[in-house]
Amino acid sequence: MNAPAPRGWLALTAVLALAALGGWWLPRSALDWQPALAAREPWRALTAVAVHYSALHLGANLAGAALVGALGVAARVPRAFVLAWLAAWPLTQFGLLLRPDLPHYGGLSGVLHAGVTVAALWLLARERGRRQLVGAALLAALLLKILGESPWGPAVQARAGWDIAIAPFAHASGAVCGLLCARLALLFASPAHHAKP
């Protein structure tokens, strides 16, 4: 259970990216997260990652998926942490229930923030030396990014350089869900696993 699982991490990354690509040609209203439909159509917590509102939105999230995929492989996260990221996927969207003023949501960014958090917590909690410092730096940078986005502000926000409105609370939800799921994964990942110097 504690062996590095790069194939599992890459497989999950590929599933997310392929869902985003495949969803480009499907009707958004059938897939996006809608809090009003959460009880009747909970599967939208999974399909929301397939919805993108512009080519720029899709391209940025695909690039982000590639980076998060590479991070997980470089971090050599164990299987329990791959499962933590998988669990954070739908939980990220369910976290959006805290923002009922966000009637629709689509995209990978919240789940990608969860993935970064999971990999960074692994590095911080179970690695040593430079790799542990990298984990701490990633978590600190992520916290500063999220705080700088004012997730407690308006549910959707216009940002320079984007052709869509951004929902920064999704990033916060992803990071929190990733942190909680990774914390649970720490209970199942043996402390004996450390990077070789």
Beta bridge partner(s), residue 166: 157
Decide if pLDDT at 193 tops 50: no
Distance CA 138, CA 124 (A): 9
Task: Tell me the Ramachandran region of residue 145: left when phi exceeds 0, alpha when psi lies from -120 to 50, beta otherwise.
Answer: alpha
Q: pLDDT at position 188, please?
A: 78
Please state, in angstroms and as integers, the Cα–Cα distance from residue 23 to each residue in 73, 87, 101, 112, following that order: 26, 21, 24, 17
Decide if pLDDT at 73 tops 50: yes
Please state, in angstroms and as integers, the Cα–Cα distance from residue 139 to each residue in 83, 93, 121, 125, following that order: 19, 21, 7, 12
Q: Of 23-27, 50-54, 79-83, 185-189, which range is least confident?
A: 185-189
Angle, helices 79-94/6-23, rounded to nearest 10 degrees: 30
Q: For residue 102, what are the contacts with CB-CB under 8 A and spacing of at least 6? A: 35, 96, 155, 156, 167, 169
Q: pLDDT at position 126, please?
A: 86
How many other C-beta atoms are found inside a 10 Å radius of the C-beta of residue 109?
23
Decide if pLDDT at 120 tops 70: yes
Mean pLDDT of the chain: 92
Mean pLDDT of 38-65: 96
149 backbone dihedrals φ, ψ, rounded to 5°: -85, -5
* Residue 162 DSSP SS3: coil
Q: pLDDT at position 197, please?
A: 38
Q: Which residue has the tokens 């009880």?
A: 39
- The token pair at 134 is 């990298």
Decide if pLDDT at 5 tops 80: no
Q: Which pLDDT band holds residue 194 (cuts at 50, 70, 90)?
A: very low
pLDDT, tens only, 137-149: 999 999 999 999 9
% the chain with pLDDT above 90: 88
* Residue 166 DSSP SS3: strand
Distance CA 161, CA 118 (A): 28
